[in-house]
Structure 1
Amino acid sequence: MSLHNQPKKKLGYLDDDTLNYYRRVSETLQNGFQDDDEKDLFMNNALEQLSQEALKVSQNQTGSRIAESLIKEAQPRHVCQVFTALGQDWNTATTDRFASHVLQALIHMIPRQWSTSENSADEVFISLYDYVTENLDSLVRDTYSSHILRELLESLGGVSVSELIIHRQVSKHNVKGIELKHQEEKKLEVPNKFKKKFRKLVKQIFKICNYDDDLRDVNYNTVLQTGLLVLHQVEPPLCAKLCNKIIKKGDLLLGDLETENKIKLPELVQDKTGSYLVEQIIAVTSPGELEHIYSSVFKGRLLYFAVDKIANYVLQKLISCISDKTLFTDIFDELSPFMEDMLAFNHLGVITKLAEACLRVGTRQERLIKVLMESFHCAEPADRQVEFVKLLASLTTYDVFFCQDKEKEKESEEKTKPLLTRINLHGSLLIQHLLHFGKPKLVVTSLLQLKPVELKTLSCDQMGSHIVDAYFQSQSVGERHRELMVDKLKGSFFEVACSRNGSRTLEAIWKCIPTKQKCVIAEELSLQEDRLRSDQYGCFIHRNFAISHFKHRRSDWQGLQGASTKKRKIFKDLFDDSDGQASKQGKKNTDSKGNVTETETTSLQLQDHEEVTNTAVDFLLNSMSKKLEESSTKHKKSFDKKQSKRQKEVPNPETRTFKSSCGKHKHKDMKKKKIKEKAE
C-alpha cells in the first residue's frame, strides 16, 4: 500500500488493544472490589500504565473519561505519576478539548494531599502555576484552559465554588440550594506558600483585564466570578475592593450615564454575559456595601431595570439579597406605582421577588396586596375583590377574564361567569407568598369563594396544587378556614386522590388537619376503596391513609391518627426550639460579619427542619400503619381458621335436634313393644 493511501491517524487516536484495555479498567471500577488491598493493587497497576501514555490517552474522548474516573478513585499518592506525565507538555494539557478535563480532575485532587505528609506533587503543581502565570493573557480567554484556571483558583483558595458560577439560566434557579450545600462544606487547609500564590494570581487576573471587552467575554467572565467567590470566603476585604473596581471601570455608576436629563442603563447589565458578573457582585457584597451599590447604581432608575429583558434579572438578584427594612422600603416605594407596567412587559420575576422580600423582611405586605388588586382592576368596586385569586392565578385582568367590554356588557351578565381552568407559574408563586403574609384575610376569602370544580382544578394542577399546600401550611390561616376549605372540597376527594398532583396535595392537607376532618376525607374515599386501591396514584393514598383500617377498625384508626397528631406536634416543638437558637445565631453573624448568605442559609435550614420533621413523622406513621395492617390480617386469618374449625367439629343444630328426637321416639317404641310381649 502506498503512503498516500494509508489512513491518517487522528488526534487522540488509540489502537483497539489500548482502547479495549481501558474499557476493561472502567468495567472493573464499576463492578467494585472485594477489599481495599485488591483495589489498591488494581489502582497502582492501572495508574502506572496510564502514566506511561497519559497525554495520548487523555486526548482520546473515551480514554479521557476513563482516566477521569480513575483519578477520582485514586489516592493522593497515585496522582503524582499522571500529573508528572502531563507536565511534559502543559500547552497541550491545558488547551486540548479532552486532555484539559483530565488535568482539571488532577488539580482537584491536589489539595487532598496537603493534609497528609505526601507532598510529592507540589513541584509539578508549582510548575503548572508558573506556566499559567506566564501565559495568563491567552489562557484566561480560551474555552478549555479557562476551566483549568478556575480549578486552580479553587484549589489555591481551598474552597469549591464551581456550582455557584452564574453562566446559564438553570443556575439562577438552583443557586439557593447550591449555596446551602457549599456553606456546609469544610474549607481545606492551604499551606502559606500557596496562599501567597493565590493572591498573586487573582491580582494578576484583574490587572490584565480589559474592562471594556473582557467583562462580556464568556470565559473571562466566569474566571472573574470564580475569583470573587473564593475571595468572598477566604479574604472578604480584597473581594470588596475588587468589586468596587469592577463597578467603577465597568461604567455602572449613575453619574457616568446621566446626560441631558436622560437616564440610561449601563451596557454591562444589558449584556447577557456581563449581567451574570453584576449578579455575582451583588451576591458577595455585605449589607452595608449593598446599600452603597443601590444608591450609586440602581436608585432612580429601577423601572428601567425592571422593564429590560436582561437587566431585570440583576434587579431580582438585588431584591433577593436585601435584608434591611429601610432599603427594601425605598425599592418597593419606587417600583410599586409601575406594577401594571411590569405586568405588561411580562417581567413577572421582579413582582414575585418583591412578594418574597415583603414576607422575608416583614413590611409593605398590605400595600403589595392593594397594588396588585389595582393592577388587575379588581380593587373597586368592592364586589370584584372576591375574584382576586382567580385573576392572580391566571394572571389576567378583570376586564379580560370576564370579557367586560362596553358593547358586550349586557351579554356577559346573562352568561355564566367563566371558570378558572389555567394556572400561571408566577401567579401561583405570588399567591403562595401572599398566603404566608401576616394578614391574608382577603386572599383567604377569595380562595373560599372559588367553586368546588375550580378548587378541584387547583388541587390537581401542577402549579395550582402548591397554592392549596400553602393555604393549609400557612400559620396565618386559622383552623376554621381550613375546615371550610375541606367542606368545599367534599365530593372531589376521590378524583383528587387519583390525580398525579392531587394525590400529593391531599397528603399535604392530611398533615395539617385534625382527626375530625380526616374522618370526613376517609369516609368519602372508603366508599370507592376498590377503585382507589387499584389506581396508579390512589393506591398510595389508600396505603398512607389506612383506608381499609378506617373501614373495618375505625376506633383503632382514630386512635392512631390522634397519636400521630401528638407526635407531629412534639417533633415540631423540638425542631422549633433548635431553630429558634439557630435563627438568633444567624442574626448575630449577619450583624457582626455583614454576610447576607447566612440569613438565607438559616431560612433554608428552617425549611429543611420542617421537611425532616414531616419525613420522620411520616415514617413513624407508615411503620405503625403497617404493623396495624399485619396484626389485623393475622387476627382475621386466625378468626377465619377458628370459624372453619368450629364448623367442622360442631354439627348443625337442626340436624342434631332431629337425630335426638328420632332417637327418643325409637326408644319409646321399643319399650312399648317389650311391654306388649310380656303382657301376652
Structure 2
Amino acid sequence: MSSKYYREALALFHQCSKNEDRVDLANKVFNEACNEALAITKSCPRELEEFLPHVSALTCLTTYFEKLSDDFDDLINDKGTCYLLEKLLRRLPSMIDKEKINNSELIERLHIAYDQLFSCICTNFLTYLQQIGSCHIIVATIEFLHMENVEQFDNEYERLIDGGATPLKYYELPTEWNIKDKLRQITNYFFNEEIADLALLLNDPGTAMVFASILRICGFLYEKKYKKLLKQLFKLTRSTFELTDYVLDKNASYVFEIILQFDSIQRNDILYPLILSKTDEFCLHSIGNYFIQKLLMTTTDISIISQLYQNIITEKFHILIEQCHINMLITFIRVCERFNYKYDDLIKHYRKYLNCKKKNHDFVQRVLQSNMKTNNNEDNSDGQHKTTVSQNQSSIFITKNGSLVLQALLRAKIVDSLTKTSLENLTGEQINSIACDPNGSHLLCQLIKKCTLWFNGKEFRQQFYTKLESYYSKMACDKFGSWVIDTLWTNANIEQKIKIADKMSDEFNILRSNQYGKFITYKMNLNAYCLRPEQWKTNLNLIAKKHMLCDEIEDGITNKNRKKFKKNLST
C-alpha cells in the first residue's frame, strides 16, 4: 500500500476526538504495515512514529518487529527509521509486562526477534558507536533489558516535585532472556583493544550514554560486573581535579549520575567527599547543580543531607535562590520533609527571604510571585504568564517557578502551619485569580487531587467551596479556570455538588453558549437540573450509592474475602 494511505490515516488520526478511536486506528495502521514492513517503515517513519504510542495490540507490534528482524542493520543506518526503531524498543517492555503471564508464545517470538537485534548490535558495535543516531539504538537495546516505567510520573515536573520519595519502577523480563549473559557480552566491547581508552569514550556524548546504560542495569541486576566496571572507571582519575572535570563534563556526567544510585566504595569514599568539599563550585555550575539534586534524591545518608544543608541553606540561602535553579530549592524542600530534617527551619529561611508581612498571611502570595531561574534558564519576562496585580491585592502574580515551589510545599504528608494558614486566608477572588492562570490552574488541581490538607481537612475543603460560590460560573467560562471547576466537581460530595449546580444554574444560558463552560454543564447535566431538580438530585444519589457499593465490593475482594464474596455471589 502506498505512503499516501498512511499520510491520510494520520490526518484522520489528528481529527479523532476520542482516545478509543485513536487506539483503534493505530492498531489498524500497524496491522496493515506488517504486510510490507520494511518498505512502509522506510517511506513513512514519521507517520508510524506518531501512531506507535497509541498501539494497544502486542500481537501486531510483535509481527511488525519480526518482519523487520532481517533488516535491522539497514534500518539502524537510516536516520529516520533509526528513531522509529528506538521508540518501538521503548514501547514494547510495558506491553510485555502486561502479557508475559497470559501469552508466553507471543513473548517468545519477541525474544527471538530481540536476540537478532542484539546480535546485530554486537556485530556492528564499533560502527554504531561512532554515530549519534545508532548510539541511541544501542542504548535502547540495552535498556530494553530493564526499562524504566515512565508512566509512573505524568511529566518531568511531577518527578521533580516527588523529590525521590517514590521508588522508581522497572519492567522485568522473564529469566529465559539471559540478561546477565547479554550484559557480559556487551560490556566486553568497551574494554577490547580498539576502544580501550575509556577516557576518550566518556568525552563522547553517544558512548557516554551507552556506558551509563550498561552501568545502570549492571547496578540493578549484576552487582559483580558493576563493581568491576567501577574499578576500571576510577582508574582514569588520578586526582580530585581530574575527577571534578569528569563529573562536570556534559557527557561524562551521565555516568557519574548513575553511580549515585547504588551503594559502593567509590560513591561513599570518593564522590560524596568531592561534592561536599566543592559545594560552591557544584552549586553554581549547571551540571554540578543537577548533580547535587540527584544526590539528594538518591541518598539515604542523613549526614550527607546535613552537610549539604549546612553548606547551602544555612550559609548561602540567598545564593540558592538568586543564582541556582529552582529545582535545587524544590529538591531540598521535598528531601527535608521526607527525612524530617530541619523542614520548618528551611521554610523559615524562605519566609525571611520573601520578606513576608501581615503575620505571614501573605506567604502563599509571595511564593507564587517568586522569580527564580529554571533549568533551561528561562526568565519570567520572556513569555512566562503572569496575572496582573490590582491595587486592592485581589489578584496575584503567578510565576511558573512559584507554582512549582508551592506544589512542593503542598505535597508534604503534613502541610506546614505557615503554608496552611496562608492558604486559609486567601479570599474567593484571589483563588479565582489563581484558577484562571495557566500555572495557578494546575496548582489548584494538584492541591485537590494530591494534597493531604485537602483529603484530611474537612473544614478546609468546606471553606474552599464556600469561598468560590460566587465564582463558579466565571471560572467555568475561562480556559484555565474550567479545569479547576471540573476537578472541584469530580471531587465534591453530594451536598457540595448540589450547591455548585444551584449556583451555576442561574447562568445556565451563558455557560452553555461559552466554548469552555459548555463542557462542565454537559458533565454536570445542568440542563436536567434546571428542568427537573428533584429528579436530578435523586439520580445523583443513586450514582453515589453505586460508586460506594463498587468500592465496598472491591475492598471486600482485596481484603482476602474472595471466597466469601464468590459464595455470596453464587447464592
Could you report, residue by residue, the CA deviation over 1:507-539 in whole angstroms, capped at 9, with x for unpaired residues?
322344444444433332111111112221212
CA deviations 1:540-599 (Å, max 9, x no partner) are 222333434444444444455556666667777888999999xxxxxxxxxxxxxxxxxx
Q: Deviations over 1:332-356 (max 9, x none)?
A: 3443222321111151111112222
Structure 1 partner of 2:187? 202
Question: Aligned equivalents of 1:433 and 1:176: distance in 2?
Answer: 5
Q: Which stretch of the first structure deviates more once superposed, 233-242 or 485-494?
A: 233-242
Aligned in 2, Cα 1:144/1:384: closer, same or farther, shift over 3 Å?
Answer: same
Equivalent of 1:131 in 102, 119, 123: 123
564 and 434 in structure 1: CA distance in 2 versus 1, 3 angstrom threshold = farther
Q: CA deviation at 1:203?
A: 3.0
- 1:124, distance to aligned residue in structure 2 (A): 7.3
Mean Cα displacement is larger for which, 563-572 or 242-251? 563-572
2:482 maps to 1:503: yes
TM-score, normalisation: structure 1: 0.59
| Within-5 A mapping of 1:419-430 | 420-430=395-405
- Please tell me whether the aligned partners of residues 498 and 538 of structure 1 are also in contact (alpha carbons under 8 angstroms): yes
CA contact (8 A) 2:148 2:170 kept: no
3-state SS, counterpart of residue 273 of structure 1: coil
1:476 aligns with 2:453: yes
Question: Equivalents in 2 of 1:106, 1:485: separation in Å?
Answer: 46
The alpha-carbon distance between structure 1 residues 365 and 127, as it changes in their structure 2 partners (threshold 3 A), is closer
What's the counterpart of residue 524 of structure 2?
A: 545
Task: Report the CA distance between 1:389 and its aligned residue.
Answer: 0.8
Supply the AA of the counterpart residue of 2:286: K
For 2:379, the equivalent position in structure 1 comes to none
Q: Say yes or no: does 1:386 pair with 2:361.
A: yes
Counterparts of 1:217-236 in structure 2, within 5 Å, are 217-236=204-223
Q: In 1, Cα distance between the equivalents of 2:342 and 2:224? A: 34
State the shift of 1:430 in Å: 1.9
Q: Does 1:352 align with 2:327?
A: no
Residue 254 (structure 2) pairs with residue 276 (structure 1): yes
Deviation at 1:117, TM superposition (A): 8.7
In the TM superposition, residue 461 of structure 1 has moved relative to its aligned partner by: 1.3
* 1:487-498 equivalences in 2 (<5 Å): 487-498=466-477
Map 1:85-484 onto structure 2 (within 5 A). Answer: 95=77, 97=79, 116=108, 128=120, 131-132=123-124, 136=126, 138-150=127-139, 153=142, 158-160=145-147, 183=169, 185-190=171-176, 195-196=180-181, 198-206=183-191, 208=195, 210-243=197-230, 245-246=232-233, 249=236, 256-257=240-241, 266-282=244-260, 284-286=261-263, 295-323=272-300, 327-337=304-314, 338-378=316-356, 383-395=358-370, 416=391, 418=393, 420-437=395-412, 438-473=414-449, 474-476=451-453, 478-484=457-463
The answer (yes or no) to whether the contact 2:129–2:207 under 8 Å persists in 1 is yes
The one-letter amino acid paired with 1:315 is I
Tell whether the 8 Å contact from 1:394 to 1:420 is kept in structure 2 after alignment: no
Alpha carbons of 1:562 and 1:429: their partners in 2 closer, same or farther (altered >3 Å)? farther
Pair 1:245–1:568, CA change in 2 (3 A): farther
Deviations 1:3-25, CA, capped at 9 Å, x for gaps:
xxxxxxxxxxxxxxxxxx76489
- Indicate if the aligned counterparts of 1:440 and 1:476 stay in contact, CA closer than 8 A: no
Unpaired stretches in structure 2, ≥5 consecutive residues: 13-22, 25-29, 53-58, 97-103, 373-389, 561-571
- For residues 506-585 of structure 1, the aligned pairs below 5 Å read 506-561=485-540
Give 2:43's aligned residue. Answer: 62
The one-letter code of the counterpart of 2:355 is H
Name the residue aligned to 2:19: none
Q: Which runs of 5+ in 1 are unaligned?
A: 1-20, 34-38, 51-56, 165-169, 258-263, 398-414, 582-680
Shift of 1:317: 1.9
What do residues 57-93 of structure 1 show as CA deviations (whole Å, max 9, x unaligned)?
Answer: 79x95287899999x958679958x756x59xx6x77
> CA separation of 1:435/1:288 partners in 2, compared to 1, >3 Å: closer, same or farther?
farther
Once the two structures are superposed, residues 250-284 of structure 1 have per-residue CA deviations (whole angstroms, 9 ceiling, x without a partner) of 57xxx714xxxxxx9922343333333333333x4
After superposition, the Cα gap between the structure-2 partners of 1:322 and 1:189, relative to the gap in structure 1 and judged at 3 Å, is same
**Partner Cα separation in structure 2 for residue 459 and residue 519 of structure 1:** 21
Conserved 8 A contact 1:161-1:229? no
Alpha carbons of structure 1 residues 547 and 459: separation in structure 2 relative to 1, 3 Å = same
Report the counterpart of residue 677 of structure 1 in structure 2: none
Contact 2:365-2:396 at 8 Å conserved across structures? no
Contact 1:507 1:541 in 2 (8 A): yes
Q: Give the 3-state SS of the residue equivalent to 1:372 in structure 2.
A: helix
Following superposition, the deviation at residue 388 of structure 1 comes to 0.9
CA distance in 2, matches of 1:486, 1:22: 57
The amino acid of 1:532's aligned partner reads: L
CA contact (8 A) 1:216 1:274 kept: yes
Amino acid of the structure 2 residue aligned with 1:304: E
Tell which structure's C-alpha radius of gyration is larger: 1
AA paired with 1:538?
G
Query: For residues 425 and 383 of structure 1, what CA distance do their matches in structure 2 show?
Result: 24
State the shift of 1:127 in Å. 7.0
Change (3 A) 1:462 1:233: same
Cα pair distance change 1:237/1:516, threshold 3 Å: same
Alpha-carbon contact 1:376-1:396 (below 8 Å) kept: no
Q: Which residue of 2 aligns with 1:674?
A: none
Size of the aligned set, in residue pairs, is 499
Residues 202 and 227 of structure 1 are in contact (CA less than 8 Å); yes or no, is this contact kept in structure 2? yes
Distance 1:186 1:527, change over 3 A: same
| Distance in 2, Cα, partners of 1:320 & 1:517 | 39
Q: CA deviation digits over 1:7-64, x for unaligned, max 9?
A: xxxxxxxxxxxxxx7648979999999xxxxx999967x57xx7xxxxxx79x95287
Per-residue Cα deviation, 1:399-422 (whole angstroms, up to 9, x for no partner): xxxxxxxxxxxxxxxx95555443
| Code of the aligned partner of 2:439 | M
3-state SS of 1:429 partner: helix
The alpha-carbon deviation at position 484 of structure 1 amounts to 2.5
What residue identity is the alignment partner of 1:467? L
